[in-house]
Structure 1
């Protein structure tokens, strides 16, 4: 069997918002020592596998499958079990940062120290993210596992019966002398048809790199030797006297002749199938992460949600053209932090309602005062207008008949003056 040299990521005991958090205080539920079912034991014998022979795990995210492969007596591996993944968060594409809810893609290594029989998710093992490739690209995250309980925030979550079997496969292989086993995580089965479907995806270059390791396993049915140099994966390379540095230049290396020849033949067949698939592919693709920008949006959502803040029920999503969509339905996680935040919000809302009621009462009081003042002004204006209108003079009273007889007739002023003058001259002439 070709040696495998990937180093596992350091286990982090602190709780992480990105991955499935663990507690080491829980008591094992008894599943850690469960034996494999007899139907599987019987099938292993039929395929030339021993109970303690080495294993390999493969994950296909689009197909929602986790497979266990086991070494046969001829040194090659064959699939012994396939499980439907119960729950997996995120989209197709790699994990970028803590909190982006992405499950990793790449080649990872599990050692005995990464097995957790006391998991709060029934049973679990840490897949070793971030690996050398992830660290070379500055990617972050912790506690990325395969576990039970069917609950995921970036992990591959199985139901309890499934993880009991998967855990037993790993435990028995370690007891048989295997020091580490490989977990290969892919976005989908990397066939020509699937690669053609996703040829325009922003993650395509990354997936092409993973495909070389996928192809090596398909050809040899032996886990590939995995190294990282120049910030990229390299597979089954031999560099005598030199070391592979994840961020450094790749040393001069060779591939075993037999594998190199088989790989070139395999690629020729693949290239022809790919060209044909490009012209005939009609199957829709699934959503994939657009890159670090979207990862940061989701990570911020995860952090605020973990604080108990009221956020959209689903994390934001970015399309390949850069547009961001957020669901309108809001809520918060049911947790101590969420309940504290809900209490704070309720108190704040109560204060706002009281302040609004006080404001409305004051507004109504001011409106009543303004109305009263307006009415008083109108009444005053009406009174002043009425006082300025003059009253009509009364007609003279009609004289009584007696008064009319007693009163001498009033002569006009001009006629009375002429007669008086003539009387005066006659008197002077003739005497009185």
Structure 2
């Protein structure tokens, strides 16, 4: 018996009609969401920004944690790997929950989870406890983006979905920037043996967002109606049935390549700047500002391109450019730190622009009844497998140096380009 949800005869991608007078312009996508959609956008944007903030408490503190516990580079790399591997489990669970109990309820659960375990990381008495707590933080970290992206995608029109979801993705750079600012202040004012704990404790911030979401945000009505119309909503096995198996495989491979490249850089660039380039805490913050500014600009630019060029062409373009930027950035001669600062912007731009189409692309690949399950599984499987890239860099850093080992990030982008060959173009597709 077919399990494909019944498609309503009326348009399904936009539960609230666009407001008149705003059909053009740079922010037409925002007006088209309608009041409910804009509140959902605010909740998802804040959730992902704070998700990013809590994630970066670890990479920014990595040198201090390594010194405090006397860790090797492979042990510190394992902290990131555990987070990302467990995030795959969290992503799958959150996706299933989103299909079964709704997007908003699942979103609140993920935010509370990653905030709680980030705080607890600051109390870890030893490395082993920190490793466990950081892994548990990954449960919430893994699910938040998939749930928030689907929530907004189901309000967005097909015409504007790419740029709408790209703005959600750009909140990652906002959270990253906030983490760098707080890191710079905390590590300047507090001895580093305590400073890394304080930085983890500031991870309590996301809990405040839950109050806003609970009071103001609701699931898209027509998407909810479609989701509830089938008894197979949130079925994990459904995404491996013949009609979706190919999509699930290649979408997971795509996510693996892109995130393998990204998390290699996100995890090790702060250490690279401090240990191999000899930058101070304030100096590292300045160089990261260049990288983050490029990232924010890249997210927004990539969003417009994904609606104009299509999902696949945009991802392929920035996969190539990201690989080139990594090779150039890590091979800048010693003593050329000014050039390192300048090239941080295009590196951040390219490695972030490639993500701009992910929210819309993955949402469009799956039907409503298993959209959360499919997107949660593929995106976070990519995180889990891609997580071994930072660990590999950690193992190789002893002999190659961090800069030399970082070139493995470029391999990830090559994998992503190959994965695109097995996926259809979805630009303009209505959500059913």
On whether the aligned pair clears a TM of 0.5, the verdict is no
Higher relative contact order by CA 8 Å / sep ≥ 6: 1 or 2? 2
Larger radius of gyration: 1
Q: Which has the higher helix share?
A: 2
TM-score normalised by structure 1 residue count: 0.23
TM-score normalised by structure 2 residue count: 0.23
Q: Which has the higher strand share?
A: 1
